């Protein structure tokens, strides 16, 4: 186990040449002992180059990489005490699984043969590949080959794991299974891990923290929920979350943000957050948009309600992604935005609906720089980690819940939420009214998946808790 620190790390290819390229630009971060950090970003953002510099497979143009206060810039890859797992598995085709796993120990240690053999058997048992030890890679499935590649890294007992998109070659179902397995193994071993992916689902569900890169520049480092709810700029807001956040460019005119297709009044508090910025982009996540069908009573346009037309409906089971256009947009190729609604709500292409963009759900960005001016409002302390909700999340973890839905029933000062699980039982959660349904749902899903909270947490004794 080790603490890994990057200080102003820069990588320039063809330095001084006519086609000089800065792949990584002054990246600084610290990966704590035992932490699982995910480097995420689009293709070409510098995440794999950063990982390769940590591994010693690329030279560092400037800056320092330290492992437990030991500068390793000029240390050979073999002597860095790091184990790397590649996207392509990189198994030796002429060796059996047993020989692949023991090869690194034979070459890099002075352990006795029987000790190496025992270590391989123990690791194979951990990875659930004991029956595969005498097979060659060509006799294995993709998932089995990935387990062998992970096992080969684990037997070395390194100071840190480096993983370069290790799941990208697997099919969707197997990738989801291996995501869970990787989290379990990393938690059991408690080894510092740096994991590279372009898949934001992997980043959100696997990492203790995520580091978002774009064009070689570090955009934000934080927990998945911090990056999701409080993005530091428009890029992070648009990259994290699926479907992506909707953006509307506008101009401030007195107390109103005027965009191409609508005007949006802002409160004095929001105007104070904007300050003197005139060109402002409004962002809102699809799940925060409330869609009212025209048959509903007392729903009118104005202020934060707008008449829209349904363009395309994408049903995905538990929810529907609705592509909408403003009713007043008569251009031949109108721009659309997305709202996510319950999968039980029926909507058809061409329907006229009323869309509500709640003021408490919006994000505002400086249009020119992309910097966040204001993020959506949460609770006073930015958290909904109540003992009751946290206990329920811990209780559900490990039950193979295929979905988590929260149904809302308004009371005078409270909302009651019921978490529907795979076994069709429900747990009521009473929370203050300002805590929105989507936020509780996302928090609960994350806590169930992440395993980031202590399993020793006991039920606080609420009457709503299950027996």
> What DSSP assignment string belongs to 251-320?
EEETTEEEESS-EEE--HHHHHHHTT--EEEEEE-GGG-EEEETTSTT---BTTEEEEEEEEEEE-SSEE
Burial group, residue 397, by CB count within 10 angstroms (0-12, 13-18, 19+): middle
State pTM to two decimals. 0.76
Report the 10 Å Cβ neighbour count for 356.
17
How would you write the pLDDT of the chain (467 residues) with one tens digit per residue? 689 999 999 999 988 888 899 999 999 999 999 999 999 999 999 999 999 999 999 999 999 999 998 999 999 998 999 999 888 888 999 999 999 999 988 888 888 999 999 999 998 988 889 999 999 999 998 888 988 988 888 888 899 999 998 888 778 887 888 888 888 888 888 899 999 999 888 888 888 899 999 999 999 999 888 899 899 999 999 999 889 999 999 999 988 999 988 999 999 888 988 989 999 999 999 988 988 876 555 456 667 999 999 999 999 888 899 999 999 888 888 899 999 988 888 899 999 999 999 898 899 999 999 999 999 866 444 343 333 444 444 444 443 333 344 333 333 233 333 444 333 444 444 444 444 444 555 555 544 444 433 332 233 333 333 33
Facing residues of 279 across strands? 251
Domains of the chain (ranges, CATH numbers): 4-237 (3.40.50.300), 243-374 (2.40.50.140), 387-450 (no CATH)
CA dist., res. 126 & res. 84, Å (int):
18
Provide the pairing of β-strand 160-164 with 82-85: parallel
């Amino acid at each position: 186990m080790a603490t890994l620190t990057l200080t102003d790390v820069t990588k320039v290819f063809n330095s001084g040449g006519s086609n000089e390229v800065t792949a990584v630009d002054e990246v600084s971060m610290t990966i704590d002992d035992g932490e699982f950090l995910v480097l995420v970003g689009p293709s070409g953002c510098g995440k794999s180059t950063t990982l390769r510099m940590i591994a010693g497979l690329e030279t560092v143009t400037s800056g320092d990489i330290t492992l437990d206060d030991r500068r390793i810039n000029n240390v050979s890859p073999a002597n860095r005490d790091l184990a790397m797992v590649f996207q392509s598995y990189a198994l030796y085709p002429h060796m059996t699984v047993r020989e692949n796993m023991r090869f690194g120990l034979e070459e890099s240690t002075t352990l006795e043969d029987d000790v190496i053999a025992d270590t391989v058997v123990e690791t194979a048992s951990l990875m659930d590949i004991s029956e595969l030890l005498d097979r060659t890679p060509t006799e294995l499935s993709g998932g089995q080959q990935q387990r062998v590649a992970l096992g080969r890294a684990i037997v070395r007992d390194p100071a840190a794991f480096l993983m370069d998109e290790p799941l990208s070659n697997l099919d969707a179902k197997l990738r989801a299974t291996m995501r869970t397995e990787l989290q379990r193994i990393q938690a059991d071993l408690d080894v510092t891990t740096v994991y590279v992916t372009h898949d934001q689902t992997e980043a959100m569900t696997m990492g203790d923290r995520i580091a978002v890169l774009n064009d070689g520049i570090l955009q934000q480092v934080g927990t998945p929920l911090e990056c999701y709810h409080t993005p530091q700029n428009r890029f992070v807001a648009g990259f994290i979350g699926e479907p992506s956040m909707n953006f509307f460019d506008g101009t401030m005119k007195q107390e109103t943000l005027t965009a191409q297709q609508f005007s949006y009044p802002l409160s004095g508090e929001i105007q104070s957050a904007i300050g003197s910025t005139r060109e402002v982009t409004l962002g809102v996540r699809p799940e925060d948009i409330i869609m009212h069908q025209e048959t509903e009573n007392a729903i009118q346009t104005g202020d934060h309600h707008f008449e829209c037309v349904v363009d395309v409906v994408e049903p995905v089971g538990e929810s529907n992604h609705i592509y909408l256009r403003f009713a007043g947009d008569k251009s031949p190729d109108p721009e659309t935005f997305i709202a996510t609604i319950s999968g039980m709500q029926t909507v058809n292409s061409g329907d006229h609906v009323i869309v509500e963009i709640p003021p408490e759900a919006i994000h505002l960005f400086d249009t020119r720089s992309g910097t966040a001016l204001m993020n959506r409002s949460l609770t006073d302390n930015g958290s909904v980690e109540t003992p009751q909700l946290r206990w329920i999340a811990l209780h559900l973890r490990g039950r193979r819940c295929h979905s988590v839905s929260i149904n809302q029933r308004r009371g005078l000062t409270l909302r009651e939420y019921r978490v529907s699980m795979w076994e069709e039982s429900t747990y009521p959660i009473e929370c203050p009214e300002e805590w929105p349904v989507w936020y509780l749902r996302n928090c609960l899903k994350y806590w169930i998946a992440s395993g980031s909270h202590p399993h020793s947490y006991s039920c606080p004794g609420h009457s709503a808790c299950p027996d």
